[in-house]
């Protein structure tokens, strides 16, 4: 199983974390399964930008974002070339290193999963 390295984030994962991920799951599911509470105001259905993340390593191993995801990413805070919505990022066979941005454009954070 591939490893997902979550880089330290002051709120969601202060010490960083390395987890094993089941291929076929979304990055958002893997984060929530491991108590990393990445926001997902839309419930993970590609209707907002709150689960925006940056794939620091392994980006090229992922399937390309579709047009809808690209449209939402254009609205994300801190957009980079390696940005993805974690609800749309399907885990493959390769390891990933993930950065959760410092801010999101969420006006009301949801309760933890």
pLDDT digit string, tens, across residues 54-65 = 999 999 999 999
Q: CATH classification of 3-99, choosing from 3.10.450.50, 3.10.20.30, 3.40.50.10600, 3.30.930.10?
A: 3.10.20.30
pLDDT digit string, tens, across residues 83-96 = 999 999 999 999 99
Q: How many CB atoms lie within 10 A of CB 113?
A: 13
User: What Cα–Cα distance (Å) separates residue 52 from each residue in 1, 82, 88, 106?
Assistant: 23, 10, 10, 11
Confidence check: pLDDT of 108 > 60: no
Confidence check: pLDDT of 109 > 80: no
């Amino acid at each position: 199983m591939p490893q997902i390295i979550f880089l330290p984030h002051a709120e969601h994962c202060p010490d960083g974390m390395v987890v094993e991920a089941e291929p076929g799951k979304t990055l958002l599911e893997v984060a929530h399964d491991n108590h990393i509470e990445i926001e997902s105001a839309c419930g993970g259905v590609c209707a907002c930008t709150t689960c925006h993340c940056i794939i620091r390593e392994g980006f090229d191993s992922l399937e390309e974002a579709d047009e809808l995801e690209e449209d939402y990413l254009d609205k994300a805070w801190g957009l980079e070339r390696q940005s993805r919505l974690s609800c749309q990022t399907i885990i493959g066979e390769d390891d990933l290193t993930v950065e959760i941005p410092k801010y999101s454009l969420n006006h009301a954070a949801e309760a933890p999963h």
